[in-house]
């Protein structure tokens, strides 16, 4: 049976007010940018971001792009150097994402950055995303508004066909302009090609560096993961004395991802829990069994990578 049809409202003041209300309530909303339609949610709240992953289905924990209305808002979240400011001046607002050090104390949920010390950030040009950013009054995390692994959406009907009613509202402002995701730059390296070419970036920065190694630092690459400094043991119902136990459901542990067995809540809390476990005095980390369906599949994938030695 096909998914129920989502609400699609034409861009305008009534639709914008409803979209901002949903965002403030912690829900995701599909909105066009100049690249593709994005599935936007409050970047400062982990549970709001977890709803993006749940709506997209079979997600991977990749860092997400944070969208802000202007360069000043970007500098409040990230540490800019001269190169980053030059690129921002040249290409913002527009389809360029910069990967920069996360500013200390910046109110960005760790689920957005995948536990990394950097943040991917962009100032979009599209009127709908700009209007939503200003109406909601917060930075928005927004990956493409489609089921994981499917074609990126460039029209509202693409979003509706892919996500159905898992997204409560789609703002329809016609087809997107670029039709592919933003160019991502970290330092002087192109991390993901996009509408802004390497030649355009090099015209601002000078010669670019080749990407070296397989480290994942940005969206659009392979899975990024946070690896604790301590050994991690999975599917543990009873922890040893030297293990900090991260619980789930009926297994309380030293702390729990979700006492009620809510996988979306567990996804939202995962990175913070791993950080706290790594900082605890106990020498090892144990994690209770997590069901492997829905977003639980991504949680288990993330934990398996964290436990790899």
Binding residues are: 35, 58, 62, 67, 122, 142, 144, 152, 182, 192, 226
**Binding-site annotation: residue ranges for L-threonine:** 35, 67, 122, 142, 182
- Tell me the CB-side half-sphere exposure of residue 261, using CA atoms within 13 A: 7
CA angle 79, 82, 87 (to 5 degrees): 90
**Binding-site annotation: residue ranges for ATP:** 58, 62, 144, 152, 192, 226
**Helix axes 46-56 and 263-279, enclosed angle (nearest 10):** 130
Which H or E element spans position 50?
helix 46-56
Q: Phi/psi class of residue 58: alpha, beta or left (left: φ > 0; alpha: ψ in -120 to 50)? A: left
Sheet of 183-186: strand order equals 8-10, 170-172, 29-32, 37-42, 140-141, 65-67, 118-122, 96-101, 183-186, 189-192
């Amino acid at each position: 049976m096909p998914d129920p049809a989502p609400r699609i409202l034409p861009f305008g003041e009534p639709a914008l007010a409803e979209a901002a209300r949903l965002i403030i309530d912690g829900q995701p909303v599909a909105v066009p940018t100049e690249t593709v339609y994005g599935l936007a949610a409050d970047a400062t709240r982990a549970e709001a971001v977890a709803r993006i992953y749940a709506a997209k289905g079979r997600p991977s924990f990749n860092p997400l792009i944070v969208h802000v209305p202007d360069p000043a808002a970007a500098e409040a979240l990230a540490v800019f150097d001269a190169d980053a400011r030059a690129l921002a001046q040249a290409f913002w607002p527009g389809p360029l994402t910069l990967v920069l050090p996360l500013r200390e104390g910046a109110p960005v949920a760790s689920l957005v950055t995948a536990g990394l010390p950097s943040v991917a950030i962009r100032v979009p040009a599209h009127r709908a995303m700009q209007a939503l950013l200003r109406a909601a009054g917060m930075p928005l995390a927004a990956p493409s508004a489609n089921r994981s692994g499917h074609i990126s959406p460039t029209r509202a009907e693409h979003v509706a066909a892919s996500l159905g009613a898992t997204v409560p509202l789609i703002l329809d402002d016609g087809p997107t302009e670029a039709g592919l995701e933003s160019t991502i730059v970290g330092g002087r390296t192109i991390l993901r090609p996009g509408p802004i070419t390497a030649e355009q970036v090099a015209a601002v920065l000078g010669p670019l560096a080749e990407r070296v190694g397989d480290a994942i630092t940005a969206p659009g690459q392979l899975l990024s993961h946070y690896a604790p400094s301590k050994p991690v043991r999975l599917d543990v119902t009873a922890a040893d004395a030297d293990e900090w136990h991260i619980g789930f459901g009926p297994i309380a542990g030293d702390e729990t991802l979700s006492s009620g067995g809510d996988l979306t809540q567990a996804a939202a809390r995962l990175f913070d829990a791993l950080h706290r476990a790594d900082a605890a005095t106990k020498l090892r980390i144990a994690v209770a069994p997590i069901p492997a369906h829905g977003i639980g599949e991504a949680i288990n994938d993330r934990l398996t990578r964290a436990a790899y030695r």
